[in-house]
Each structure stands twice: as structure tokens, then as C-alpha cells.
Amino acid sequence: MSLVINFDDISGDEEYVFELVEGPDYFKVDPEEGILRKDVYVQGSLSKVGREVFLKGTISTEMEMICSRCLEPLNYKVRSKISSRYVSDQETGKQNTDFELHASDIEMEHYSDDRIDLTQAVYDQMMLSLPLARLCREDCRGICSQCGVNRNKKNCQCSDKSSIDPRLAVLKTLKDKLK
């Protein structure tokens, strides 16, 4: 299987509706970002205007990530909209730059040999949809900067008011900014 649709399968008159599934191994995700744990579902439609193809759809899967406060794994549900515009490689040479600038509000991809490959767009959108703050839960208490205990699981006797780990201080600033 692959996330490829043939240009000729898309009728010029109506949207081509599809639903594709790929296993987690299909995408090469940087382990620093996370680990895909579930199949990746891509549902949507393609429509064509001349040699251009427009994609509209949604991606859903599940990614395992590490909580940035307590370092425990967490499962993040990816639910993301995707839209993209595919331009034939044979056509790109003819386009003038003005046109590209005007259309820059939507991601542009290239296709060749009449094969519309959704892989890159799906991957990019999946990565974009991951949260900046990766928390196992909103009020994760993190790891004690003094004794290293996971404070979600255990209370320790350290008074953490005396010293704040600089790394945690950075996260706190980040969190405040996101409010």
C-alpha cells in the first residue's frame, strides 16, 4: 500500500473521495519527535483543475511522546486537517513567479508521472500538528529538581521553593506564554 493516487482516477467533474490507511512503519518519524503507535488514517477528497490537483482532508493517528516535565510516555491523539495543492512537474517550468506568490497560502507539492503521492504532505502536517508543550496532563507536577522523584506518583519532602531548576523555569515561561 501507499499514499498514492493516480491522476487519471480523478474525474474532472466531481471530487474524488478517498480513505487511505498506512501502518506506523510507513513513515520515518524522528524518535526525538515521537513514535507512531497506531495506523495513520487519511480521509479526504481530491479535485482537479486542469493539471492541478487540490487535496482536502483529515489525518488521524496516535503518537507516543515523552512528557517534557515528568519524562513519562504519553499518547497524543493526532487529529489534523490537511490541505495541499499538487502541481505537475511538467507544468512547473511554465509558471510565472507571481502566480506562486499569490497561491502561497496553501502548501504546494509536485507530482510527476501522473502519480499524486500524499506521503510528504501527510508527514509534514502530522509533525506540524504536534503540540509545543508535551504534557502527560495539564497539571503534571514533573520531577523534583532536588531528589528526582516523579511528583505525580510520590510526594517528597524537599521544599522546591528554595531552588527552581533552570530547565523547569524555561518550561514555565513557555507555558505562561501559551496562555
Q: List residues near Zn ion by CB under 5 A.
A: 67, 69-70, 136, 140, 144, 146-147, 156, 158
Least distance to Zn ion, CB of residue 145, Å: 8
Q: Least separation, in Å, of the C-beta of 152 and Zn ion? A: 6
Closest to Zn ion by CB, 67 or 118:
67
Residue 61 beta carbon to Zn ion: minimum distance, rounded to whole angstroms:
21
As a residue count, the chain comes to: 179
In angstroms, the Cα distances linking 31 to 103, 171, 176 are 33, 21, 27
Smallest distance, Zn ion to C-beta of residue 141, A: 8
Q: Which is nearer to Zn ion, 36 or 136 (CB)?
A: 136
How far is residue 21 CA from its own chain's centroid?
16
Cβ nearer to Zn ion, comparing 36 with 65: 65
Instruction: Compare residues 23 and 131 and give the one whose CB is closer to Zn ion.
Output: 131
End-to-end CA distance of the chain: 42
> With respect to Zn ion, which residue has the nearer C-beta, 116 or 144?
144
Q: Which residues pair with 110 in a beta bridge?
A: 87
Local structure of 85: helix, strand or coil: strand
d(CA 127, CA 63): 10
**Minimum distance, C-beta of residue 56 to Zn ion, in the bound complex (Å):** 35
CB 175 within 8 A of CB 133: yes
